[in-house]
Structure formats: C-alpha cells, structure tokens
Structure 1
C-alpha cells in the first residue's frame, strides 16, 4: 500500500530525516515516537508533500508520490489528509464552514471566493461532526470550542476529504488527558470502521501501546525501532529517546489513573519529549 524508500531530508548541512525505508502493506494504526528533533514531523510533511524530499521515494499503490506536481500533487494531499497539533482552524469562522474547507481542493475558485457549498456537502459535514460527538457545535465559531473539540473539528475537516490516509502530527500534545483520550479514540475508530491508514506522531509510550498496531521509533532522523506495541519496553524506549537509567515511563503518561497517582508527572514529562 505505502512504501518509503530511503527517504531523506536535508536542511543545509543538517539531516532531519536520514534514509528512512518503511513498508506498510495494509491500512493500520501506526505510531511514531521519538524525542523533539528526531525527524518525526519532517517525515510526515514529506509523505504529505508539504515538504519536498532531498532524496528517496514515496510509493503509494504504485504511484511515485515524490514525482507529483501541480494538480496531481494537490490531489495526493486530498488523499493524504493532515492533522496538526495546533488544529489550523479559522478561529472566527463557524465550525461547519471549517469542516467544509476539507472540500477546497475539488471546488472552483469562484465557489471558494463566495463561500458557497453544495447542500449535500453541508449535510455530510454535519454527519461527520455528529459521528465525532460535536454536531451541536456546528454553528459556533471555532474559537469558542475547547482544545479537544477543536481537534475533533480538524479531524472532521480531514474526513471531508475522504482520504485513504490520515497523518496526525502530535494531535494530542496540547490537550489534557481526558480530551487526549477522546481524540485518540476517534482516530482509532476511524481506522477500524473506515479501513483508513492512520499514522500519528505521538509523545507518550502508553498512548502508542494502547492505540497503535505498529510503533516506529526515530532518533536523529533514523528509524531505530519498528515493531509491535508489546515490544516497546522501557529499555527500548531509553534507546529511542537517548535517555539514561533514570528514565521513567510514568512521567510521560497520559493515562488518567497514572496521573492521579503522580500529580507532577505532566511537568516531569517535559524533560523527555
């Protein structure tokens, strides 16, 4: 389904992603973990073609994605939807219009200028919001919603594109544990019910283990771990993060029970992510 072949990105003398090769033979829920600067975000941006690769190829269902230009490139970005940590919504625009922005790549310039949408698209946008549990928020401005609700609006906008794949760059990094769980539950359900591939950059081990079928660990731009969630031991995590023996997995947990037992865990976590 998706093949990454020696994908590399350099910024001047610095190599952000270093000859990454991965194969995904079917839709799955994939988690990518690693410290800040490991190359996770750059990797996803290259897959989506927001950033061009320096070397290597991305092959999706036989198509060389790295060679696409113009309209073909925009078409790929519709099939490969992107969700960001900071939501990237239009704050003063109502929720349903933000969701409808997921159709911009297939609409005429004139329709976009006058903010005109087919009735069928409006109904579909509301149905997607209902699926994500926030249909009642449709007429409100996006800025009036909580962070967790805004991230679900961003997910709804991605689903409006009807993508084959969803890429999520730290989708829960700015959320509290309760909203983080709701967002991850939503992404997992989308994978299971729709058969869509989901690749998410994550910053906690418990989240990767709980939600992902496969976990990839990156360090200094290279893949240093690729395996099942149950293979992600504390020792493996130390290698991925380059941490010492004092590394505590509980310090990076988003599990509500763990956080109740360790009230200062959120602050401690900043040392590891």
Structure 2
C-alpha cells in the first residue's frame, strides 16, 4: 500500500529526515517514536504533502504522491488526513462546523464562503461525533471544550474526509493521562473497525506497545528500529532515545499512575527524552 524510499528532507543545510525507507503492505496502526528533533513530525508532514521532500519517493497503491501540486495535492490530503498536537480547530466556531471542515477539499468555493453544508454531511458529522462520545458538544464553540474533547473533534474532522490513512502528529502530547488514553482508544478503534491505516508520532513507549502493531524508532533523522512492540526492549529504547544506562521507561510513561509520582522525579526522568 504505502512505499517510502530514501526519503530525505534538508532545511538550510541541516538534514531533518535522512534516507528513510519502509513499506506498509496492509492497514496497520504504526507508532513512530523518538526524542524531540528526531524527524518524526517532518516525516509525517512529507507523507501529507505539507512539506516537500528534498529527495526520495512516497507512493501509495502504486501512485507517486511525492511531488503533487495544486488540486492533485489537495485530493491526496483528503485521502491522507492529518491530526495535530494542537488540534488546529477554529476556536470560536461550533464543533459540528469544525468537523464539517473535513469536507472542504471536495466542496465548491462559494459553498465554503457561505458555510453551506448538505444535510447528509451534517448528519454524518453528528454521527461521527456520537461515535467518539461527544455528540452533545456539537453546538458548542470548540474553545469551550477540554483538550481531550478538542482532540476528538479533530479526529472527527479527519474521519469526515473518509481517508485511507490517518496521520497523527503527537496527538496526546498536550493531554493528561486519562484523556490521552481516551484519544488513543479512539484511534485504535478506528483502525480496527474501519480498516484504516493509522500512523502516529509518539513520545511514550507504553503507548506504542499498547496500541500499535508496529513501531518505528527514529534518531537524528534516521530509522534505527522497525519491529513489533514485543521487540521494543529497554535496550532498544536506550538506542532510540540516545540515553545511557540510567534511562528509565517511566520517563516516557503516560499511565495514570504517573499522576501520583513526585514532581521532582517526573522532571528528572523527563529530561532524558
């Protein structure tokens, strides 16, 4: 399905992604892990054509999508939906309208200007919100919702696109552990029930092991690990994160129990990643 070959991105002489290659032959839920600056976000942005690759190719079902422009690029972005860490909603717009923005790439410009949506699309948006457990929030402004609720609205907007691939760039990085679990449960359910490919950038090892079928580890722009969650040992994690023997997986934990840990301990271990 998805074929990535020698994908490279250079910014002002600095290589952010360095000759990354991997194949995804069937819909999987894939976690991409690594410390900040490893190239994870740049990789997803190239997959979505938000950033142009310097060299290398991306193909999906035999179609080269690496250098798409204009309408062809917008069409690909409809098939390859992106979810961001900071939600990217319109704060003062109601929730259902934010979800309906997932249809913008297939609607006429005049309809977009006047905020006109078919009744079928409105019903579909509410059904998706209901599926994610937040249908009652539909008439509220997005800014009135909690962070976890806003991220579910962002997921609903992505589902309105009816995409083949969902890319999630640090979808739980700004959420508390309980909301992080709700969001990851939703992404896993979407993968299993809809058969959609999900690729999520994650900082946390426990999240990758719990939710993903496959884990790709990046360090300094390169893929240094590609395997199953069971193969993601502490030793492998040390290599991915460039940490020493004092590396603790607790530093990357999103489990609710971390709320009870002393703040000083959390700060000390978090500095490792």
TM-score between both structures, scaled by the size of structure 1:
0.98
Counterpart for residue 108 of structure 2: 108
Equivalent-residue separation in structure 2 for 1:110 and 1:92 (angstroms): 21
Displacement of 1:269 after TM fit? 4.7
Q: CA RMSD in A?
A: 1.0
Q: What is the CA distance between 1:250 and its match in structure 2?
A: 1.2
Q: Distance in 2 between matches of 1:54 and 1:249?
A: 34
Output the CA distance in 1 between the equivalents of 2:215 and 2:188. Answer: 14
Separation (CA, whole Å) in 1 of partners of 2:183 and 2:259: 20
Aligned residues: 272
Q: Distance in 2 between matches of 1:261 and 1:135?
A: 32
* Partners of 2:29 and 2:268 in 1: CA distance: 28
CA distance in 2, matches of 1:268, 1:175: 20
SS of residue paired to 1:22: strand
- The 8 Å contact of residues 52 and 67 in structure 2, kept in 1 or not, is answered as no
Match of 2:180 in 1: 180
CA drift of 1:226 comes to 0.2
Distance 1:51 1:260 in 2: 37
In the alignment, the residues of structure 1 paired with residue 187 and residue 158 of structure 2 have an alpha-carbon distance, to the nearest angstrom, of: 11
Partner of 1:130: 130
Q: List runs of 5+ in structure 2 lacking aligned partners.
A: none
Write out per-residue CA displacement over residues 214-236 of structure 1, whole angstroms, 9 at most, x where no aligned residue: 00000000000000001111110
After the TM superposition, list the runs of 4 or more consecutive aligned residues in structure 1 that deviate by more than 6 angstroms.
Answer: none
Q: How big is the shift at 1:262? A: 2.5
Q: Distance in 2 between matches of 1:150 and 1:269?
A: 29
1:110-160 Cα distance to aligned partner (Å, 9 max, x none): 000000000000000000000000000000000000000000000000000
Q: Partner of 1:168 in structure 2? A: 168
Counterpart of 2:235 in structure 1 is 235
Please state if 1:18 is matched with 2:18. yes
Tell me the CA shift for residue 67 of structure 1.
Answer: 3.1
After the TM superposition, which residues 87-102 of structure 1 pair with which residues of structure 2 at under 5 Å, given as runs? Answer: 87-102=87-102
TM-score (norm 2): 0.98
Q: Counterpart in 1 of 2:261?
A: 262
Taking the TM superposition and a 5 Å limit, the aligned residue runs for 1:70-85 are 70-85=70-85
Deviation at 1:15, TM superposition (A): 0.2
Pairwise mapping of residues 170-209 of structure 1 onto structure 2 (< 5 A)? Answer: 170-209=170-209
Report the equivalent of 2:142. 142
